[in-house]
Amino acid sequence: MGTKVIGQFCSFLSYQTRLIKPQKYILGFMNVPPDIPGWGKLKERFVKVSVRVPKNLQLLIDRGEMPGAVDFLREASKGFGVADGHKYAANVIVPIDKKDILIKNAENVLGTYR
């Protein structure tokens, strides 16, 4: 499976109201395979991070009380990743050694909205 599957899984989770906290961002992590068909082997190890937003959190985003998924992920990966997406779904690929930094940055970014 390609790395697109992590975003699909996070989307699935966003609808499982008994499994998730309705006002929390859903972050999924998946290691990027080192071999890219037709391109060759990557020189570094990377992880893909996908973010999805449950319905309750979408309301807070629409009211401007919380950042959209892509804004939140851009800030959390600033300096080592390029996030793409929109206010309810986003993703970024970062060096695997930056995964913990991204998590810490994400907590710091969201901490300013509480």
Q: What is the DSSP letter of 90?
A: E
pLDDT digits (tens, 9 = 90+) for 62-92: 999 999 999 999 999 999 999 999 999 999 9
* In contact, 91 and 51? CB cutoff 8 Å: yes
DSSP letters, 19-46, are TS-TTS-EEEEEEPPSEETTTEE-SS-E
Contact residues for 113 (Cβ-Cβ < 8 A; gap 6+): 65, 66, 67
Domain ranges of the chain: 4-111
The reply to whether CATH 3.10.310.40 applies to domain 4-111 is yes
Phi, psi of 106, rounded to the nearest 5 degrees: -60, -45
Query: With 90 as the cut, is the pLDDT of residue 94 above it?
Result: yes
pLDDT at 3: 84
pTM (2 decimals)? 0.90
Q: Which two tokens stand for residue 40?
A: 């060759």
